Structure 1
């Protein structure tokens, strides 16, 4: 196991020891991978591992389609990012609490029609980390966009899952995808049709596994999913808390631009105004508590804290613990 493959940062003011049998085994490095793909940490006595699903290139207008194009381009330049398109990170999370192994989102999977060869890496990277799909007791979906559910639609994956698997998702999310509304989104051509198809296939194949909740659900001791809405009507965040430490997996509630420009609308948001309100409320809470944040589309390993900066915010990544 190379040093660059798995890191363990300090998540809070203290780091209680936990039994070695409850920690993630680092696994073996994947052949051909020259960059880290997973990052392990502890939240109290709960194990957490962030796993990269790869990256997908998207137009920069997707980060703020309501912003002045010149202002948006200037922000991108100041961040040393291309002004036309750049690679969006994709992250999923594995949590081990007690005897439960919980997957938070499942990555993009494989969609040859969209030509995204560098995304959809989650399943093979879980295998490289020696996380057997049959060991996963629960899956929580922040929402049902295809870059969060697609991993379960890869051929052969469903057969590896345990028959008593529980898939937790907000009831409002399932209802929304029965007749999704894209009128307020701003997506590249092909994405709305792909999103509809993926959600339809997912609900057809996995409906019997679903554990629906309205506003909040305790998935395991210290692991709570809470519906926020905004990005999609049933979008939720998952908070992991133990022994004074806490981490929130925010899904798509916040993107890279969302700290300095929290009122910019993301192209995938089905209710941009509500999504902005949710984002500001979440960032304010995290800035006041100092708790850790992980999000799907922040640069891997996407572990850091939020600081208030006037009317906006500042992202403070953790220092990697080698």
Structure 2
């Protein structure tokens, strides 16, 4: 179990994996670990629904990616600030058929000695199934402490009472599953929710703030300590958006607003030089943002072993 006196680093070696699935770093005095929940196979067209198909095909070819499908990375964050351990998003869970490589984060935390019972706070960037589904996986709720605090925006909770999918471009089977997953999450965890309007300091140096765009209540999480900064951008950023910030994602409920949010966050990161982590950038998704003409450039960090 992660104790008050222990850092957010592996307590022991878990089962051997062929590829790394977690990466630890420090942001000043804050311990951070990016954990891969696995990947979701989705149609490549959902990455850029307003792009010319030929332009998207060129981008995929340039990135050595297949033309039809894309393995969407799923990243969650574990943060240790003071005596609080914060989970940011929870992955997709194991209850959905067809996603055998997703829903990995609980087992990966356990493998490195981090007990779910040590989590004091959970921040939900938004209530899509690949961000709350992990809290609905068998056995997860029972392992969480009964007084765990779940932070989510008021706008997000209200949106999912009657969600609007009119501007999304998703596979036909997805919206009903998103609706049912959000409804089940609210039913099971409503008594643990701490809703906020625009901004919430979850722990020292850990602030959740609403951006909207992807969903009306979508939020990002900013970490700041010792002059260092990191932003977990949730679903505000996708791999295509550095070169093409205006390309719209099929899962965005307000794609025009989402593009404005993305541009604003990129500019913030350029000014303060902070690190960027996002839910669907390739693991470990840690880098910085630079200007590149009228677009941007993602600069991955060198891994520190």
Within 2, Cα distance between the matches of 1:91 and 1:313?
Answer: 22
Within 2, Cα distance between the matches of 1:188 and 1:28?
Answer: 41
Instruction: State which of 123, 128, 134 in structure 1 corresponds to 2:117.
Output: 134
2:63 corresponds in structure 1 to: 79
* CA deviations over 1:159-202 (Å, ceiling 9, x no partner): 11111110000000000000001111111131111111110000
Instruction: State which of 293, 297, 301 in structure 2 corresponds to 1:310.
Output: 293
- The question of whether the paired residues in 2 share the 8 Å contact of 1:22 and 1:96 is answered with no
Structure 1 position 22, deviation (Å): 4.2
Within 2, Cα distance between the matches of 1:194 and 1:300?
Answer: 26
SS of 2:5's equivalent in the other structure is helix
Within 2, Cα distance between the matches of 1:307 and 1:167?
Answer: 33
SS of 1:41's equivalent in the other structure is strand
Structure 1 position 130, deviation (Å): 1.0
- The question of whether the paired residues in 2 share the 8 Å contact of 1:22 and 1:47 is answered with no
Instruction: State which of 93, 102, 118 in structure 1 corresponds to 2:77.
Output: 93
Unmatched 5+ stretches in structure 2: none
Instruction: State which of 184, 191, 205 in structure 1 corresponds to 2:188.
Output: 205
SS of 2:86's equivalent in the other structure is strand
Within 1, Cα distance between the matches of 2:87 and 2:117?
Answer: 12
* CA deviations over 1:131-172 (Å, ceiling 9, x no partner): 111100000000000100011101111111111110000000
1:198-277 equivalences under 5 Å are: 198-277=181-260
Instruction: State which of 36, 51, 63 in structure 2 corresponds to 1:52.
Output: 36
SS of 1:21's equivalent in the other structure is coil
Within 2, Cα distance between the matches of 1:259 and 1:128?
Answer: 34
Within 1, Cα distance between the matches of 2:295 and 2:186?
Answer: 38
2:135 corresponds in structure 1 to: 152
Structure 1 position 29, deviation (Å): 4.2
* CA deviations over 1:104-125 (Å, ceiling 9, x no partner): 0001002334x11001101101
- The question of whether the paired residues in 2 share the 8 Å contact of 1:95 and 1:101 is answered with yes
Within 2, Cα distance between the matches of 1:107 and 1:49?
Answer: 15
Between stretches 28-37 and 62-71, larger displacement belongs to 28-37
Within 2, Cα distance between the matches of 1:277 and 1:293?
Answer: 17
* CA deviations over 1:219-272 (Å, ceiling 9, x no partner): 000000000000000000000100100100000000000110000010100000
Q: Number of aligned pairs?
A: 302
Give the TM-score normalised by the residue count of structure 1.
0.92
Instruction: State which of 145, 161, 169 in structure 1 corresponds to 2:144.
Output: 161
2:262 corresponds in structure 1 to: 279
SS of 1:112's equivalent in the other structure is coil
Please, what is the CA RMSD of the aligned residues?
1.1
Structure 1 position 27, deviation (Å): 3.7
SS of 1:182's equivalent in the other structure is coil
- The question of whether the paired residues in 2 share the 8 Å contact of 1:166 and 1:211 is answered with yes
Unmatched 5+ stretches in structure 1: 1-19
Within 2, Cα distance between the matches of 1:59 and 1:160?
Answer: 34
1:107 corresponds in structure 2 to: 91
- The question of whether the paired residues in 1 share the 8 Å contact of 2:9 and 2:24 is answered with no
Mapped pair 1:193 → 2:184: no
1:41 corresponds in structure 2 to: 25
Between stretches 280-289 and 138-147, larger displacement belongs to 280-289
